[in-house]
Structure 1
Amino acid sequence: MSRSYVNQSTLSSKLGWSEATGRKWITEFQEFLPPKIVGKSKMYDDNAYKVLVTIKQLSEKKFTRGRILEIFKEEGVPQSVDEIEKIIKEYSVLDEEGQALVDSIPSLKDLIIPLLNVMSDKKPFIASMLNKGVAEYLSLTENQLSISYPDSKETIFTSRMRASRFSLQKQGYIEEVSTHTYQITTEGTELLNNNNVNIHEEIEELEKVIDPIEVIQENVEEIEEEVVNRLVNELKKAHWRRLETIVVELLTAMGYGDGQVTQRINDGGLDGIIKEDKLGLDNIYVQAKRWENTVGRPEVMSFSGALDAKAARKGIFITTSSFTKGAEEYVERLESKKIILIGGRKLAKLMIENDIGVSVKKKIVIKEIDFSYFEGE
């Protein structure tokens, strides 16, 4: 039985991605999507489609490209629904309870009609009042309203409400009448009065409306992810003494105190010291290891022993790789001291946040209408 092949554009379309989005994912995961070369074109079979479906599922659970790549390299590509669920459960940025809470928050299409109903009296509403009105309309709990994804400053509910408002505004069902203040239009009122079939069809169309701000955010996240990956690679190539200096410089920039790299000999397995006060009454000891393999519990226990030799209560173990669950569980159970574990990806993100080893390439300013400018006679 011969296989059927499609080009990159068709493959992206089957997954509901734009061609640009599909190209980025396919390029990033090329090693797991071996193409068939036909002339100058790359063609992909059903197996490639299945791999991308898995990638899309993990992405929708807020797994980053880098994280998915790590998982695929360590675990292989999951081949069944059970294997995908196992990965989501073991590696998810949210625990099981948190994920269940996220799943219970209404999606964009579930927010459309409640949002229009709240606005049905044709009065203007500021965005925060709309959020409150829809939350009350749907009887959402405080937990549903307050949860956000890790590293996100915006709650999931607020993000979905913003996307819903944009879709309705883009299609002319609501309009922005002043800064962050919205009002239902005649078309919006008519949509509410339509029959269920027409409403359902229109909601399906509204789901396809893309907020350019979200597109920008996705691309910014992709750029940041690429910088993280490149930083990790550079850290792995850096001389071990240079890595120690980088780590101490980072912790100093983060405001933990004055830092210094220890002497090369007789350092007791400790690579740096951060003095939290000028007299050195309270020190944080640092170990930085340029490793490829995952750091396990024995290595962390050895670091803990080095802290004991200094009668120290605080330590930071940094590696360019990652830590095993056993290592993480060990430090969680410590009572007499506190040890923080920082893996390569987290180290890179902290460097970006604190402008260590990076520089600003370009700033983008997004402008909006200043409604107050047009007021008055």
Structure 2
Amino acid sequence: MTVPDFQTLMRPLLAELVDRQPHRVRDLTERMSDLFELTEAERVQMLPSGRARLIVNRVGWAVTHMAQAGVVHRPQRGHLVLTDAGADVLATHPERVDMTVLSAFAAYRDFRGRTSAEATPPSVDPVASTTTATPGEIPDVTAAASPQDLLAQAVTENRAAVEGELLDRALALTPTDFERLVLELLRAMGYGRAGQLEHSGASGDGGIDGIISQDPLGLDRIYLQAKRYAAGHTVGRPELQGFVGALASNQGDRGVFITTSTFTKGALETAERVSHRIELVDGGRLAALMLRHGVGVQAETTVTLHRLDEDFFEAL
């Protein structure tokens, strides 16, 4: 048997977690190799990049998709546990669990929406596709798509998955550590380069979690508020009004309000109407900025596409 595609691995992986105890992903990978009776050559088969074993890559991406849907949870690094939603999926889908099944979950549809919104070849349906390629590779989706289309799809698939994982990890931080994370992001974006970034978050901080001094004397300041809220806990008008009051107390006129959640319409209107200049960053934009500026991520694979150099042959 060849190495199974990542969708085929989904239900067997869920079945291994039925005891509701944490399992190491490394052990799960070996169990999948045994279950699908992979040969020794198939067990050590590498990706074209040579960076990882194919079965490890496909198990990893099956886990990523299922985690985005909320049917599995990572309680700690390298471990996996079945959620209540995952137990329901196991009970109601005895034959197969794939991307179509996961699309019943709003969180997974959001994940796929982030993927398809950026780059989707016209002939590719990212949810209904039955391709056996993994998101970490260039998928064999359709002969009608160019290599550039397929590469773009693979890159955006990876980006959407990592952004979701970044947001999950940010939510798992303590409020203080989340404030530090936000300051590291702003530092990576170039803020405070000529001055300094100060973490001021503490009890009695007056609603200010950080101060960015844009010049050595601290005359040009930007004030920061960072709120680590779950997706269902939106930031509303009262929180924005409190931040505006904190700016006024510090004689500030510019601020950045960053949250892992979203802003209500009232909060957005408040930010637009007040005399202070306030930039709002929600969870989706936060994750995208972290990825763009290399905060909390590592580059894994670089792919170069080549084309024929007509000028070279013309010059011969």
Q: TM tier, shorter chain?
A: 0.5 to 0.7
1:302 is matched with 242
Q: 1:315 and 2:255 equivalent?
A: yes
2:209 is matched with 271
Counterpart CA distance in 1 for 2:180 and 2:97 is 47
Which of residues 88, 96, 107 is equivalent to 1:42? 96
Counterpart CA distance in 2 for 1:307 and 1:43 is 51
Counterpart CA distance in 2 for 1:25 and 1:283 is 40
Q: CA deviation at 1:349?
A: 1.0
Measured against aligned partners, the alpha-carbon deviations of 1:312-333 in whole angstroms (never above 9, x if no partner) come to 1101111111111211121112
Counterpart CA distance in 2 for 1:265 and 1:52 is 42
State the percentage of identical aligned residues. 35
Q: Structure 1, unaligned stretches of length 5 or more?
A: 1-7, 10-19, 69-148, 164-206
Which of residues 288, 299, 309 is equivalent to 1:360? 299
| CA distance 1:353–1:317, change in 2 (3 Å) | same
User: Does the aligned pair in 1 maintain the 2:254–2:276 contact within 8 Å?
Assistant: yes
Residues 180-195 of structure 1: pairs in structure 2 closer than 5 A: none
Counterpart CA distance in 2 for 1:346 and 1:296 is 17
Measured against aligned partners, the alpha-carbon deviations of 1:332-365 in whole angstroms (never above 9, x if no partner) come to 122x211111112211111111111111111111
2:157 is matched with 222
Q: Secondary structure at the match of 1:213?
A: helix
1:281 is matched with 219
Q: Secondary structure at the match of 1:268?
A: coil
| CA distance 1:365–1:299, change in 2 (3 Å) | same
User: Does the aligned pair in 2 maintain the 1:66–1:229 contact within 8 Å?
Assistant: no
1:200 is matched with none
1:373 is matched with 312
Q: CA deviation at 1:37?
A: 4.0
Q: Structure 2, unaligned stretches of length 5 or more?
A: 1-6, 9-57, 72-84, 124-141
Counterpart CA distance in 1 for 2:312 and 2:246 is 64
Q: Rg: which structure is higher?
A: 1
Normalised by the length of structure 1, the TM-score is 0.49
| CA distance 1:239–1:217, change in 2 (3 Å) | same
2:18 is matched with none
1:182 is matched with none
User: Does the aligned pair in 1 maintain the 2:64–2:161 contact within 8 Å?
Assistant: no
User: Does the aligned pair in 2 maintain the 1:232–1:344 contact within 8 Å?
Assistant: yes
- The one-letter amino acid of 1:364's match is V
Which of residues 243, 246, 262 is equivalent to 2:200? 262
1:234 is matched with 169
Q: 1:65 and 2:74 equivalent?
A: no
User: Does the aligned pair in 2 maintain the 1:296–1:326 contact within 8 Å?
Assistant: yes
2:147 is matched with 212
| CA distance 1:235–1:263, change in 2 (3 Å) | closer
1:333 is matched with 273
Q: Secondary structure at the match of 2:161?
A: helix
| CA distance 1:246–1:66, change in 2 (3 Å) | farther
- RMSD, aligned CA: 3.8
Measured against aligned partners, the alpha-carbon deviations of 1:267-294 in whole angstroms (never above 9, x if no partner) come to 2110100011111111000011111111
| CA distance 1:26–1:251, change in 2 (3 Å) | closer
Which of residues 279, 283, 290 is equivalent to 1:351? 290
1:290 is matched with 228
Q: Secondary structure at the match of 2:96?
A: strand
User: Does the aligned pair in 2 maintain the 1:243–1:290 contact within 8 Å?
Assistant: yes
Q: Secondary structure at the match of 1:42?
A: coil
1:126 is matched with none
More helix, by proportion = 1
User: Does the aligned pair in 2 maintain the 1:228–1:349 contact within 8 Å?
Assistant: yes
| CA distance 1:376–1:67, change in 2 (3 Å) | closer
Q: CA deviation at 1:264?
A: 2.5
| CA distance 1:294–1:67, change in 2 (3 Å) | farther
Measured against aligned partners, the alpha-carbon deviations of 1:58-86 in whole angstroms (never above 9, x if no partner) come to x9xxx752669xxxxxxxxxxxxxxxxxx
Q: Secondary structure at the match of 2:280?
A: strand
Counterpart CA distance in 2 for 1:52 and 1:231 is 21
Q: 1:250 and 2:176 equivalent?
A: no
- Between 1 and 2, higher relative CO (CA 8 Å, sep ≥ 6) is seen in 2
- The one-letter amino acid of 1:318's match is I
User: Does the aligned pair in 2 maintain the 1:252–1:274 contact within 8 Å?
Assistant: no
Counterpart CA distance in 2 for 1:327 and 1:263 is 22
Counterpart CA distance in 2 for 1:247 and 1:52 is 31
Normalised by the length of structure 2, the TM-score is 0.58
Q: Secondary structure at the match of 1:311?
A: coil
